[in-house]
Structure 1
Amino acid sequence: MALVTKRDLKVAALVLGICCSAHALAESLPLVSGNDYAPYADEKLPHGGMATEIVQKAFEAAGLKSHIDWLPWARNLAAVQSGRYAATYPYRKTAERKRDFYFSEPVFESEERIFARRGSKLNGADLSSVLKKRICLPPGWSAPDPIATLLAKEKIQVERPNDISTCIRMIAVGRADFFVTDGIQGRATLAQIRQQDVVQMPGVVARSAYHLLTARNNEHAVRWLNAFNQGLAQLKKSGAYRRIVLEHGGE
């Protein structure tokens, strides 16, 4: 029988660690997102929306398979933090989220706009226009920093219906005054539900980036995030990223 040295044991442990890591990355990653966020994420959209297609193609470029489940937005972050899912998307960075999650390179970037009833005098470049108004903010949604600051100071009120489609209907009948989202998303949702009484207001509230999130308490989170970032870079270099954006009505 050959003598097993300490060096042999170290090599064996290293090989085992590499194999386990490879196995964790080789499995189909369970991802989760939410509906009613056209054109970026919705199981009814082609490829699940622009963000979904980018996310899955980026993982694919990195050699990883993935599959998507769809949950209410308010449950997605907790489901990732509990270990049920590897990652979720697309989310804006907030101080609260940064405590519990790692953020990928931006999946997409956008201009945040105000949407309100036709004829409203609200302006994204002059937030004094929204003071004492009622913002519609579904559970799981976050407000861009300038709006979040006003919320924290109780300068505006908040309504929290279940989803953005309900939000738009509330604004149309005067039960809320406005919502804020990426301009492309807002216009796409208005077109999807055929609502003409709510329109985009002038001015840009903020410019934001939206990301894939992995949980800090997951031992594989950094490897998954690195793989995604590498795949995303490949998509952009090859031109595939731009094609996906244009196919989904992006700019």
Structure 2
Amino acid sequence: MRGFWLGMVCLGLACRAVAAEPPPARIELANGEWAPYLSERLPRRGFASHIVSEAFRLAGVQVVYRFYPWARAEAMVRGGEIAGSVVWSVTPERRQFALFSDPVVSDEEVAFHLASRPMKAERIEDFYGLGMATPNGSRLGVWQQAVDAGRIHHYVTKDVQSGMHQLLLGRIDFFPIVRAVGLSELRRHFSATERAAIVAEPHAFSRFDYCLMISRRQPGAEALLARFNQGLARLRASGEYRRLERDFHAGVYDSPSVR
């Protein structure tokens, strides 16, 4: 019995030692292609990547990004093959295998359409009878029920750029996409005349917070996440986050040639 209690005491001390273990000086995170937030080809690996790197820097942790297809990145976090990944929306399924940070960036989904075709765009019902497109692999979200009921005609495009081309050609009526992503694609790939032909409605149909996710299998995951959240809070309090955000909206993260 004495040996049993001695073992329990040692186990408790070991657990406290692990909990008190400082975060690693260097971690690897899975990343992917979602310009202008994330991209291997953009300045600082995109705006969201830059924010994550700076927040971790303030916490004394260096980040190395490895780029993978999104499904692969999520599977690696689930299996504990990598410390975590940037940036993701929180879902009940993902909470089973990952911890999530405070929001790194937030954005909203809006409807892009031709300026020459003004439309009422405040309710899903306003789009009944029209044709929309989404990039391959994207979820329909708030549009799912109307599409399933045949109220809205749905097409799939290769990517965001293709969807904008479909708008210009009049093959679809509207294109719902995250606002910053759509505006960046227009700045990067379309002429001034083409950009002027497409407008983004002010009404948001969905709002999203995108977070760092850390694998629950990562040693010291909770401590690592706490350090990141502290660094992110310091970044916001310093005013540096707002400066980077202004750069983001000005298009600084659109092209590798800018910075």
In which range does the TM-score fall when normalised by the shorter chain?
A: 0.7 to 0.9
1:71 aligns with 2:65: no
Cα distance in structure 1, aligned partners of 2:209 and 2:143: 16
* Equivalent in the alignment of 2:21: 22
In the superposition, relative to structure 1, how do residues 96 and 8 fare at CA in structure 2: closer, same or farther (>3 Å)? closer
2:235 counterpart residue number: 235
Post-superposition shift, 1:59? 1.3
Match of 1:185 among 176, 181, 185: 181
How well do the aligned residues superpose, as a CA RMSD in angstroms? 3.4
Structure-2 change in CA distance of 1:111 and 1:232 (3 Å) = same
CA distance in 1, matches of 2:19, 2:90: 31
Does the aligned pair in 2 maintain the 1:102–1:214 contact within 8 Å?
yes
Percent of residue pairs identical: 25
C-alpha deviation, 1:105, in angstroms:
1.1
User: CA distance change for structure 1 residues 135 and 6 in 2, over 3 Å: closer, same or farther?
Assistant: same
Match runs of 1:3-82 below 5 Å: 10=9, 14=13, 18=17, 22=21, 25-38=23-36, 40-82=37-79
Q: Deviations over 1:178-212 (max 9, x none)?
A: 33233232111111111525432342223332222
**Does residue 92 of the first structure (1) align with residue 92 of the second (2)?**
no
Q: 1:20 to 1:143 in 2, by over 3 A?
A: same
Question: Which structure 2 residues correspond to residues 196-215 of structure 1 after superposition, within 5 A?
Answer: 196=194, 197-215=197-215
- 1:164-185 deviation digits (Å, cap 9, x = unpaired): 2233334433554433233232
TM-score by length of 1: 0.77
Shift of 1:125: 1.4
Q: 2:107 aligns to what?
A: 110
Instruction: For 1:83 and 1:175, locate their aligned partners in 2 and report how far apart those are by CA, in whole Å.
Output: 44
- On the 8 A contact 1:123/1:202 being kept in 2, the answer is no
Distance 2:6 2:199 in 1: 69
Deviates further, 240-249 or 84-93: 84-93
> Residues 117-149 of structure 1: CA distance to partner in whole angstroms, max 9, x if unpaired?
44344544132233352331332x4455x3355
Gapped regions of structure 1 (runs ≥ 5)? none
Structure 2 residue ranges without an equivalent (≥5): 252-259
